[in-house]
Amino acid sequence: MTVYTRHPNRGLAWFAKGLAAGLAVAAIGAPLAAQAASAGKSFVDDFDRLDPSRWYISDGWANGDHQNCTWSKKQASVEDGRLKLGFVKEKTKDRDYACGEVQTFKRFGYGTFEARMKAVAGSGLNTGFFSFIGPVHKQPHDEIDFEVLGKEPSKVQINRFVDGKSLGPAKLVDVPGDADKDFHDYAFVWQKDRIAWYVDGKLVGEVTDPDKLPSHPAKIYLSIWGSDTLTSWMGAFADPGQPIAAEVERVSFTAEGDKCQFPDSIVCKTQSQ
């Protein structure tokens, strides 16, 4: 297993994707107790500003040798009601590129996670919306993913990790009209006995084995990054030739049992069924 140097506030989002054989970590408490201790409550963020009480901007490090960019606070900004996460050719520390990521300070338990996002195209690039908690937080590695691989922006990859192991379904699902051409709604509903992934309101993946589901409250991440080495997964990296940015119009979390918070929420659809 490759060892990575990580900022103490940073969860390594895809830490075990095809690389980690397992993680020796100490879990604290039972899953239900951990859920009860989750501090995150329902919210909707339409990005009229980048709320410093909600979002931590990753800055000054990279996740490992696989990543060809350094996280930079200059690559996370809000303009015209949209969060912009940039990727630009800029020598930063030992990397030739700078890239953007934000993560919540709080951790969130069972409920519905949603983002309205426009990804970027380009081989070797990854636009992500996911939940993550891991050893850097003194917790097992649990994760639920949406990742747009820029080599094939007509699709988005969904996946989940439990205690550092990818349990799937690690599959690509269609994004109508392409993830980089317009904004699309990505949502996953996380319950004790189920995870369901939705794209533009359509169910695209589901897991119902309670013994193979994440159980630890997690932080919410939004990011864009590149790689020169993960070619089998992300494709050969191609310099975009100009600054590019993923954009996010809205992110929300609706705690399990709470009411629908906005008309386009998947929670409205599922509560009316």
Walk me through the domains of the chain, giving residue ranges and CATH numbers.
Answer: 31-272 (2.60.120.200)
Beta carbons of 112 and 189 less than 8 angstroms apart: yes
Amino acid at 121: A
**What is the structure's pLDDT at 74?**
98
Chain-centre distance for alpha carbon 97: 20
Q: Is 210 helix (H, G, I), strand (E, B) or coil?
A: helix
Whole-number pLDDT of residue 84: 98
Nearest alpha-carbon partner for 161 in 20, 7, 39: 20
Torsion of CA 51, 55, 60, 65, to 10 degrees: -150
Strands (DSSP E) along the chain, which ranges?
Answer: 43-45, 55-57, 69-71, 76-79, 82-92, 95-99, 101-104, 111-118, 125-133, 142-149, 155-162, 165-166, 171-174, 184-191, 194-199, 202-207, 219-226, 244-255
Residue 160 CB burial class (10 angstroms; 0-12, 13-18, ≥19): buried
pLDDT at 168: 77
Q: What is the per-residue pLDDT for 39? A: 72
**Helix H or strand E encompassing 271:** helix 266-272
Catalytic site residues? 143, 147
Q: What is the 3-state secondary structure (H, E, C) of 7-64?
A: CCCCCCCCCCCCCCCCCCCCCCCCHHHHHHCCCCCCEEECCCCCCCCCEEECCCCCCC
Q: What angle do CA 92, 96, 98 make, to 5 degrees?
A: 55
Of 109, 139, 127, the C-alpha closest to 220 is: 109
Predicted local confidence at residue 16, as pLDDT: 38
Instruction: Say if residue 226 is exposed, middle or buried (CB neighbours under 10 Å; 0-12, 13-18, 19+).
Output: buried
The amino acid at residue 22 is G
- Per-residue model confidence as pLDDT tens for the chain (273 residues): 222 233 434 334 443 333 333 333 333 334 455 555 567 999 999 999 999 999 999 999 999 999 999 999 999 999 999 999 999 999 999 999 999 999 999 999 999 999 999 999 999 999 999 999 999 899 999 999 999 999 999 999 999 999 999 987 789 999 999 999 999 999 999 999 999 999 999 999 999 998 899 999 999 999 999 999 999 999 999 999 999 999 999 999 999 999 999 999 999 988 877
